[in-house]
Amino acid sequence: MKKALPLFVAMLLLPPAAMTSLADEWFAPFQRVADYKPKGPEHCFRQFNIDWSWIALRPDQLPEFLSEADPVALAEFCQRMHMDGTVVMAVPHHGYCTFETRVGAKFPGMKGDWFGRTISELHKRKIAAFGYVTLNWNWKFIRENLGRDFIHGRPDAEGVCASRCVICLNAPGYLELVEAYTREVLENYPVDGMRWDILISAKQGGLHGSSDCTCEGCRGLFRELYGQELTRWQDFDQRRHMDFHIATTTRAVERLRALCKRIKPSVPVWQNGLNSYHENSLNVGRLLDIAYNEFGDPFRLLLARGATGKSAAINGLMNKAGWDPGKPLAPLVHHEWRACLALGGRCYSYYGHKLTNHRTLLPNEAMQAWHREQLAPFYAMVSQLEPWLQDATPVSQVGVVFSEATRFRFPNGDRAPYISALEPIATNSLQRSAPVEFINALDLGDPQKNIARFKLLILPRTSGLSATELDSLRHYVREGGSLLVGGDALRHDAQGKELGFFALAKELDMERGAVPPPSLRVRPYGKGRMACIADVSQTAIDQLAGPAPLTVQPPENRVILTHQERQHRWVLHLLDDGPCTVELRREFAAPTRVMARYPASGWTYAVESTGTGLRIQTVGQAADRILVLE
């Protein structure tokens, strides 16, 4: 066994110009806000949100908000927790502003320009500041417009709106108000990103008891979309209801993005509500600059990245622990978050946000202890690993083709049955240390996506592909790829209507109305193979994809291999503790040596060449291990 080079020593071997660039690229002095270069969330691996939208909800508590808030104290807290980026609320759900505004109203108890001073203090500490404006659940707007047809629901007896009320996003003047807030933030403050929250609107059977809306804005949009008048929603089928809701939320995203790009194109923008468990179109996320996986796990992270076509995703893993975590506070499980980091995630937490003091905007003592004992050590570790996370992509030999149109074949456009077919494939691949990559059908013909790099493409129930997308699949197979069609894939059009035939039946030498058999059916096509099966199995995947990029012993230990192409490096993320042996195949990764390791002590490794690549054996009980190969 030999000792490896510690990562902090390896970083010293970077060229001086590269180290200077890493240190000085962001937070440079500027004369005008327009000249400030935003860091953006893609470059921040340790994100946070002191989310205080869900505390002190009664109107009589508003004067207490921010009354003792100290931007220095908040910035120092973020620094102690080793954060490199945080959301700074400009307009939270309460509907009041934390900045100097002409279009809104400031929190009555706020002293000075809290938003601007907080950004300044964060930037002094090299922490990115992301502006935040609520999209729905603007409780000030709701209270001021109670009784109007675009407000759905009512506050409780104490005046608390919370999630009892929903604003129709077509409400006359409402999107214009959100745009005005956003414009003030972007034109007057050096934010590093811009985010909106709560992408929902009123709809039949929608969130929080809302119903379909017939306000003036809805009637106008309906007329614009369909060329007819909206009188009663009962006159239209469920598909029209769903289409209109998607059009409403999509229009909001399109308008806010377009506004930001007109004002300052360099500011990255993102939005929540674009995940597999939301009704909004996942394709809308392709308009934004980074995927956002609020309640994160590795599968949802992979799907969010693939559906939106983004290289990175903000990943809120701890947020799943609950709105009010109570006692005992949940421990931070390192291997889950480390898996997401290796798969292109950016750590993000607003865990315990209901335990924030609304006067100081700081976490209470219990949450401060959690941040100090759990989050801070983890983020400190991530800060050391960042050179090996930047511009890194997981090495995948199998692609899973995703089509948002598949959902429309299910009742009410419910995406859940489709997700149920996708999730086991991704979960099993991660357990086998061979993560799949999701590819949106819209990207099949994109040369930058280069689907030829995959040994196998899988379509598990995937439908709704266009003729052009089907041609891209045919070309992929003709050039040597393998294609596996699972279940009832390719039997419905983009509107969800049954075709009455299987779109690739001819290529698979099947009758047009035939169904995939229970056992694997494989036919040659050009230089490649087309196959189908009733239920996609790991056996079928292995038969068509061939050997994985790496294998691990014991097999229950999980390892993720990533590639930093520009640096000519590969990184092994060893997610589980204890001894293991990793076999790397040369056709996927061709390093000759280990250049660095983390942590610097508590474990050792040995490397030997094999006929197919490298064998790496590790010994020791150190946790959170990685090996850097070149």
Rounded to 5°, the CA angle 78-120-196 comes to: 75
Q: Which residue has the higher pLDDT, 612 or 208?
A: 612
Q: What percent of the chain has pLDDT above 70? A: 95
* Residue 304 Cα to chain centre, angstroms: 5
Query: Is the pLDDT reported for residue 208 higher than 80?
Result: no
Residue with tokens 């440079």, as numbered in its chain: 28
**CA proximity to 357, closest of 552, 154, 576, 69:** 69
Whether 221 and 249 have beta carbons less than 8 Å apart is answered as: no
How many Å apart are CA 187 and CA 442, to the nearest integer? 34
**CA proximity to 27, closest of 149, 130, 122:** 122
Query: Is the pLDDT reported for residue 280 higher than 90?
Result: yes
How many Å apart are CA 18 and CA 623, to the nearest integer? 29
First to last CA, the chain: 19
The partner residues of 440 in beta bridges, in order of sequence, read 402
Q: pLDDT band at 287, cuts 50/70/90?
A: very high
Query: Is the pLDDT reported for residue 16 higher than 50?
Result: no
Residue 530 burial by Cβ neighbours in a 10 Å radius (0-12, 13-18, 19+): buried
Q: How big, in percent rounded to 5, are the helix, strand and coil portions of the chain?
A: 35, 20, 45
Across 285-353, where does the E strand assignment appear? 291-293, 313-315, 345-349
Task: Report whether CATH 3.40.50.880 matches the domain 396-545.
Answer: yes
Strand order in the sheet with 603-609: 550-553, 580-585, 613-620, 603-609
Residue with tokens 């592909």, as numbered in its chain: 465
Listed range (415-419, 468-472, 501-505) with the worst mean pLDDT: 501-505
How many Å apart are CA 475 and CA 496, to the nearest integer? 25
* Residue 484 Cα to chain centre, angstroms: 27
Q: pLDDT band at 317, cuts 50/70/90?
A: confident
* Residue 146 confidence (pLDDT): 96
How many Å apart are CA 520 and CA 259, to the nearest integer? 51
Mean local confidence (pLDDT), 300-311:
97
Sequence length of the chain is 630
Query: Is the pLDDT reported for residue 11 higher than 50?
Result: no
**What are the residue ranges spanned by the domains of the chain?**
396-545, 550-629
| pLDDT tens-place string over residues 68-99 | 999 999 999 999 999 999 999 999 999 999 99
Mean local confidence (pLDDT), 135-157:
95
Q: Which two tokens stand for residue 438?
A: 């999701």
376, containing H or E segment: helix 376-385
Q: Which two tokens stand for residue 324?
A: 């009010």
| pLDDT tens-place string over residues 390-401 | 999 999 999 999
Q: pLDDT band at 210, cuts 50/70/90?
A: low
* Residue 515 confidence (pLDDT): 84
CA distances 614 to 10, 241, 582, 587, 607, Å, are: 21, 56, 8, 11, 7
How many Å apart are CA 614 and CA 607, to the nearest integer? 7
* Residue 415 confidence (pLDDT): 96
Query: Is the pLDDT reported for residue 307 higher than 70?
Result: yes
* Residue 330 confidence (pLDDT): 87
R_g over Cα of the chain? 26
| C-alpha dihedral sign at 537, 540, 545, 547 | positive
**At residue 348, what are phi and psi to the nearest 5 degrees?**
-150, 130
H-state helical runs in 227-354:
238-263, 298-308, 334-342
Q: pLDDT band at 487, cuts 50/70/90?
A: very high
The DSSP call for residue 13 is T
Q: Which residue has the higher pLDDT, 277 or 103?
A: 103
* Residue 296 confidence (pLDDT): 85
Query: Is the pLDDT reported for residue 8 higher than 50?
Result: no
626, containing H or E segment: strand 625-629
Whether 532 and 516 have beta carbons less than 8 Å apart is answered as: yes
* Residue 13 confidence (pLDDT): 45
What residue type is assigned to position 557 of the chain? N
Average pLDDT over the chain, rounded to an integer: 93
Mean local confidence (pLDDT), 563-573:
96
* Residue 295 confidence (pLDDT): 87
Q: Which residue has the higher pLDDT, 16 or 28?
A: 28
* Residue 205 confidence (pLDDT): 64
| pLDDT tens-place string over residues 342-358 | 999 999 999 998 999 99
* Residue 479 Cα to chain centre, angstroms: 33
Residue 31 burial by Cβ neighbours in a 10 Å radius (0-12, 13-18, 19+): exposed
- Global pTM reads 0.94
